[in-house]
């Protein structure tokens, strides 16, 4: 495993910690239906199927990581990486801690995000 693959795995754990399970499934399907890393098909599916801009952004960050760091991996490999990360105890623990830090901190960023959800 090279450094790019490790980076993708780390990004998958972070993504899985921040996305609700149904959003992970949407990203996973978009990746599996994509012919490859350079195809815009996955981004189009994410834009169509994920309504919240924050979730779309972090999903697209994951696709960017795939394209920049691990383009040798097939969509099936990347899908497996994301699904495994989504079910790992580490991503679940990070997600809970991250949710509390991001949403209950009282920071301007957290308040702006909360406003975007409410609107």
Radius of gyration of the chain (CA): 14
Token reading at 29: 């399907």
**Domain boundaries along the sequence of the chain:** 3-118
- Measuring CA to CA, which residue among 10, 11, 7, 63 is closest to residue 38? 63
pLDDT at 51: 92
- Write the pLDDT tens digit of every residue in 64-86: 999 999 989 999 999 998 988 87
Backbone angles phi, psi at 64, to 5 degrees: -60, -40
Query: With 50 as the cut, is the pLDDT of residue 12 above it?
Result: yes
- Measuring CA to CA, which residue among 1, 11, 3 is closest to residue 86? 11
List, in sequence order, the alpha helices (H) in 1-119. Answer: 3-18, 21-33, 41-49, 53-69, 75-86, 89-103, 108-118
More confident residue, 110 or 50: 50
What is the band of 107 on the pLDDT scale with cuts at 50, 70, 90? Answer: low
CA–CA distance, 3 with 76 (Å, rounded to integer): 19
Crossing angle of helices 53-69 and 21-33, in 10° steps, is 40
């Amino acid at each position: 495993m090279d450094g790019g693959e490790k980076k993708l795995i780390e990004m998958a754990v972070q993504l899985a910690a921040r996305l609700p399970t149904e959003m992970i499934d949407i990203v996973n399907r978009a990746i599996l239906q994509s012919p490859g890393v350079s195809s815009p098909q996955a981004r189009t599916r994410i834009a169509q199927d994920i309504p919240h801009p924050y979730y779309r952004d972090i999903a697209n960050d994951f696709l960017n990581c795939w394209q920049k760091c691990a383009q040798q991996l097939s969509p099936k490999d990347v899908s497996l990486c994301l699904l495994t990360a989504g079910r790992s105890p580490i991503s679940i623990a990070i997600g809970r801690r991250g949710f509390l830090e991001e949403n209950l901190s009282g920071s301007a960023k957290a308040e702006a995000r909360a406003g975007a959800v409410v609107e």
